[in-house]
Amino acid sequence: MKQQFAVIGLGRFGGSICKTLSDLGHEVLAIDINENKVNQYADIVTQAVQMDSTDEQALRDIGIRNMDHVIVAIGDDIQASILTTLILKDLNVPYITVKAQNDYHERVLAKIGATKIVHPERDMGVRIAHHLLSKNVMDYIELSPDYSLVEIKAGEKMVGKSLLELNIRAKYGCNIMAIKSKDGLNISPKAEDVIQKDDILVVIGANKDISRFEENEGA
Count residues near ligand ATP (CB under 6 A): 22
Give residues 22-41 in contact with ligand ATP (rule: CB under 6 A): 31-34, 37
| Binding pattern for the stretch 16-55 against Ca ion, x by CB under 5 A and - elsewhere | ----------------------------------------
DSSP secondary structure string for all residues of 1-39: ---EEEEE--SHHHHHHHHHHHHTT-EEEEEES-HHHHH
CA 187 to chain centre: 21
CA distances, 198 to each of 106, 154, 160, 195 (Å): 41, 6, 11, 9
Strands 175-181 and 147-153: what pairing? unpaired
Q: Which stretch binds ligand ATP (CB under 6 A): 19-27, 46-54, 151-159, 191-199?
A: 46-54
CA distance 155 to 104: 43
Which of 5, 6, 7, 8 touches ligand ATP (CB under 6 A)?
8
CA distance 44 to 30: 9
Partner from ligand ATP, Ca ion, none binding residue 74, C-beta < 5-8 Å depending on class: ligand ATP
Smallest separation (angstroms) from Ca ion to the CB of 75: 5
Site residues, Ca ion (CB under 5 A): 75
Site residues, ligand ATP (CB under 6 A): 8-14, 31-34, 37, 52-54, 73-77, 80, 121
